Structure 1
Amino acid sequence: MTEHSLIEPVTGKGPGLDLTLPSAPVREILERAFAEDAPAGDITSQLLIPADARANAVLNARVPGVLSGATVFRDAMQLVDPGTSVELLVADGGRFGAGTRLARVSGRARSVLLAERVALNLVQRMSAIATKTAAFVQLTEGTPARITDTRKTTPGLRVLERFAVRCGGGANHRYSLSDAVLAKDNHLAVMTGGDPARLTELLLAAKAQLGHTTHFEVEVDSMDQIEHVLAAGVDTIMLDNFTVEELKAGVALVAGRARVEASGNVNLETVAAIAATGVDVISIGALTHTVAALDLGLDVELTVG
């Protein structure tokens, strides 16, 4: 195995690509995870492993990818036992090859074994998201399109999964329903009562109630809605499930009067063509809701102290 094969950090089009995690929500997630996984301790290790046994372990990559969750892995180990030493060999956002040693762990064997599954589950999922995001970002290089996530995240893990998207070079959409206005098809159906002629009027009335710093986005699913929405002076217009040709026509019609977001039917086979239409943002729910854990393993050697 190579000791350290970090190639380079992933770069992307996100605003600043902040690769830091707030400590409080991470600790809360870890505490919930350990309360679920070991509510009364690890009875297997307590039965089989001597109390004074020490463990030296290596977090190994069995496939190539982009790392996310290195600090979460470390924090999980040290929440169980502050005496556990964790040396991170590859940073969050770093690319690695198969066989790369990502981290070294040393500490009480019982502590390492108790923390192992929670620590691995999170770093494997986060790295899978980062790796998938990086593949989308790479396919849109040379275009202005920004790859973003959506709210299709695992309940309770949004802060980690959104961080993983940034590690892969992507950007984050609104964090929650409280952060920005995004009027989707169901909102519009209720608002207009089926009368599309009222759309501009209703959107203008709604916008007048907002503070000047609140972002206003509206989703449309047909070309004939675009002018009605633009007339309300929205910030972003989302073209939902448009074909590539429709996206080109939509971008031309908007003509810079609002930011254009493409959503729906986005995958690794279609994203390059979508980006080439001139859209500003491509939002992809599959970045977080459809991922398989990246194959990372913790290989442990035990020595009795």
Structure 2
Amino acid sequence: YGFGYGTWVFIGNETVIKVDPEVGRPGRFSHELAVTAMDIPGVATPNVIETGTLEGRAWVIMNRLDGSIGYNVWPGLDDKARQKLVTQLATALLNLQQFKPDASMLNATTENWGQHVRQSFNRALRAVDAIVPGRVISQSQGAFALWAEALEDRPRVLCHGDLWFGNILVNHQGELSGIIDFDRIALAPADYELDMLLRFWNYPWNFVPEQLEETYNDPLDTLLLKPFLELCQGDLSDEALNARLSALELVYRLNLVNRFGWNDQNAEMFDRVLAGDWAKGLI
């Protein structure tokens, strides 16, 4: 039993049950259904067994995949094994990008990527207007206006959208065996996949369980992100990629403040993003 962000998760020997704690969202797990037929060679993904609602709450039952959660395995891997694992993950993402889901089952409207990100920013900014210091609001508006110039449309591919070590499974040989949690999949420009990867790489201790925070108390080696950069950057200049990822990170930070409030840690995070070099080390 455990919690995802906004999800109750019950893990059995052979199945996993996910329940939406909020009432009235019957299509909450349509993303999982959209990719249930996906086939990535050598890498398992969950198959939906059944979906439904109970007392107004959506639920989904999926098969449980074999393997260990990535963040439990990573610390014990040597440099060569780590490089192999990230290369395998990049190859799996290439296959994922080529899968064509039923777009009607995806919640986010991303046909116009620039418009989608701008709307997300404006919505997040309005939500925290009374929480975030005015100075930070003004800086955020100015920075986003600059970064938004790089939000040109690019060909859309299927992106996982929430890739970090908690959503990959690794076998006893240290090889990628599965990818889970497709709740944030989207048809989006390929560089969107770098959003969560870079965030986790920069601040891994914010994502792993408390007992592992000391193990992950330093940023990960950004050189290991090279296979993902080669897959996702395409013809974007380094400057444009930095701007696009900075815009997404700013939206993410605003949404976090809306959910958890303003504090010193958030202030430091905003300073880091608004400095303008969020993708430093990646590019």
Bigger proportion of residues as helix: 2
Which is higher, the Rg of structure 1 or of structure 2? Answer: 1
TM-score, normalization: structure 1?
0.23
TM-score under structure 2 length normalisation: 0.24
Q: Give the number of the structure with larger relative contact order, counting CA–CA contacts within 8 Å between residues 6 or more apart.
A: 1
